[in-house]
């Protein structure tokens, strides 16, 4: 090869390399991140990182003829809109191949959707499939068609092995291209960005739920690979939804509430990057992005309920100006244990003693705490009754978590399960 040809070839290779790098960077910039949640996350969702731009909330579930609506759905949608998230909806669908049940499910839930027209309505199909693969597929296609006819973007949520075992994926993506939202986790360590070495390669994927542990204690986290979460919002702008259901209007009202108008009873979210309370004392990093009820207002300072600390109004954003959460009749104050917590540290934070917390919660050993454990803080309160689920044939831990409105990490933590794939029929799970 002569020198001139070699130099020309080197130049071409350099240009192509630069072009590929540019295209890759542009592609990465079009990816969006967001959470999904159910009643387990409470009345408001949270942002995992400041860049989060969407959220997906469960409106309810349908389990072999039983409706289980999520009382937190409307408040999650409203507060998500107030936080600047493009909100979407999903329905837990355990109807196997039974189209009559799917019709009943969608007749009930579709009129109650509180996210804008053209937003995502995903069908969560990960449990209860029949032995007839094509009949299952017919049922799923029927559901996706109904979602589309109602004016929403149809999406199918599941995980790769389940899709390959129980559905004809080619038929689904032929009619609904890029309609798959797939869950596949590298492990259960905390992660906020996906490891693409574990991407569940399969045609038709638009979103990847790459972890159920975006924060210590568990939180489902997703990457939108193709921009599908822009649907339902004009030019992807959360302030310009295609339609305005009541939850969207509530969210916009909260979003437009000036800091000077914050009142007792409003719900606020602590902004990312805030490092100090109003008195100058350092703020724990885990407080960032959490939501709290305003207990008291004094000038431009707010007293946050639950944590009972003062914060500057400029360091929060309003997520709700009305109480949309279900009424709680107990006067108990609770704390959910986080990674690195100690009983003495929690006690100090709430102005009590570790001995008192040990007594209130019936703890045999004050050094044994588990992430996600719920502790009673206030004297005289009673613990919530523990609920149990008995494992049935064909169950998976992720399927059980979706049924119960919780997540895999929480079930593992509460039941001492090291390997999420090792459960057995008849096993009792606490949640």
Q: Which pLDDT belongs to residue 187?
A: 92
Q: Which pLDDT belongs to residue 331?
A: 45
Taking residue 24's Cβ as centre, other Cβ atoms within 10 Å add up to 10
Q: Are 271 and 285 in contact (CB under 8 A)?
A: no
Q: If you average pLDDT over residues 291-309, what whole number do you get?
A: 86
397: pLDDT confidence band, cut at 50, 70 and 90? confident
Domain ranges of the chain: 1-29, 31-250, 258-320, 334-376, 388-430
Q: Are 366 and 358 in contact (CB under 8 A)?
A: yes
Instruction: Find the range with the poorest average confidence among 20-29, 324-333, 421-430.
Output: 20-29
The Cα–Cα gap between 119 and 74 comes to 15
Is 31-250 a CATH 3.20.20.80 domain? yes
Q: Which pLDDT belongs to residue 138?
A: 98
Q: Which pLDDT belongs to residue 333?
A: 65
Residue 219 CA neighbour count, 13 Å, CB half: 23
Q: If you average pLDDT over residues 230-235, what whole number do you get?
A: 95
Q: What is the pTM of this model?
A: 0.69
The Cα–Cα gap between 425 and 165 comes to 20
**Within this chain, domains 31-250 and 388-430 share the same CATH topology:** no
Share of the chain above pLDDT 70, in %: 86
- Topology, domain 334-376: Membrane-bound Lytic Murein Transglycosylase D; Chain A (3.10.350)
CATH number attached to the domain at 258-320: 2.30.30
Q: Which pLDDT belongs to residue 402?
A: 74
The Cα–Cα gap between 359 and 369 comes to 14
- The answer on pLDDT for 382 being more than 60 is no
The dihedral formed by the CA atoms of 77, 79, 80 and 84, expressed in degrees to the nearest 10: 140
- The answer on pLDDT for 321 being more than 50 is yes
- The answer on pLDDT for 325 being more than 80 is no
CATH number attached to the domain at 388-430: 3.10.350.10
376: pLDDT confidence band, cut at 50, 70 and 90? confident
């Amino acid at each position: 090869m002569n020198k001139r040809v070699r130099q020309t070839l080197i130049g071409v290779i350099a240009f192509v390399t630069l072009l590929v790098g540019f295209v890759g960077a542009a592609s990465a910039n079009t990816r969006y991140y967001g959470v999904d949640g159910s009643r387990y996350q409470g009345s408001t969702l949270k942002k995992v990182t400041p860049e989060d731009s969407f959220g997906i909330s469960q409106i309810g579930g349908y389990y072999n003829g039983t409706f289980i609506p999520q009382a937190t759905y409307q408040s999650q949608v409203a507060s998500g809109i107030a936080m600047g998230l493009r909100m979407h909806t999903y329905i837990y669908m355990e109807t196997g191949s039974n189209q009559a049940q799917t019709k009943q499910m969608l007749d009930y839930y579709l009129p109650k959707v509180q996210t804008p027209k053209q937003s995502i309505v995903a069908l969560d199909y990960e449990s209860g499939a029949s032995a007839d693969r094509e009949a299952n597929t017919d049922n799923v296609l029927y559901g996706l068609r109904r979602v589309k006819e109602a004016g929403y973007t149809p999406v199918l949520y599941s995980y790769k092995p389940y899709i390959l075992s129980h559905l004809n994926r080619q038929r689904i993506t032929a009619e609904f291209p890029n309609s798959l939202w797939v869950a596949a986790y590298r492990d259960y360590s905390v992660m906020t960005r996906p490891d693409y070495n574990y991407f569940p390669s399969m045609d038709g994927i638009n979103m990847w739920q790459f972890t159920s542990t975006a924060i210590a204690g568990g939180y489902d986290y997703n990457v939108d690979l193709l921009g599908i979460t822009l649907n339902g919002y004009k030019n992807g702008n959360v302030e310009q939804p295609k339609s305005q259901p009541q939850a969207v209007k509530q969210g916009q009202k909260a979003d437009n509430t000036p800091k000077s108008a914050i009142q007792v009873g409003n719900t606020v979210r602590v902004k990312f990057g805030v490092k100090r309370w109003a008195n100058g004392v350092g703020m724990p990093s885990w407080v960032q992005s959490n939501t709290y009820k305003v207990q008291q207002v004094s000038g431009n300072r707010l007293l946050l309920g639950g944590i009972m600390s003062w914060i500057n109004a400029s360091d929060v954003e309003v997520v709700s100006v009305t109480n949309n959460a279900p009424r709680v009749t107990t006067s108990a104050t609770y704390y959910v244990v986080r990674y690195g917590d100690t009983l003495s540290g929690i006690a100090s934070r709430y102005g009590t003693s570790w001995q008192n917390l040990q007594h209130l919660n019936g703890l045999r050993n004050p050094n044994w705490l588990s992430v996600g454990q719920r502790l009673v803080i206030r004297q005289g309160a009673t613990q919530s009754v523990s609920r149990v689920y008995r494992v049935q044939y064909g169950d998976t831990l992720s399927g059980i978590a979706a049924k119960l409105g919780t997540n895999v990490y929480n079930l593992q933590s509460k039941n001492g399960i090291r390997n999420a794939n090792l459960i057995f029929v008849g096993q009792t799970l606490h949640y």
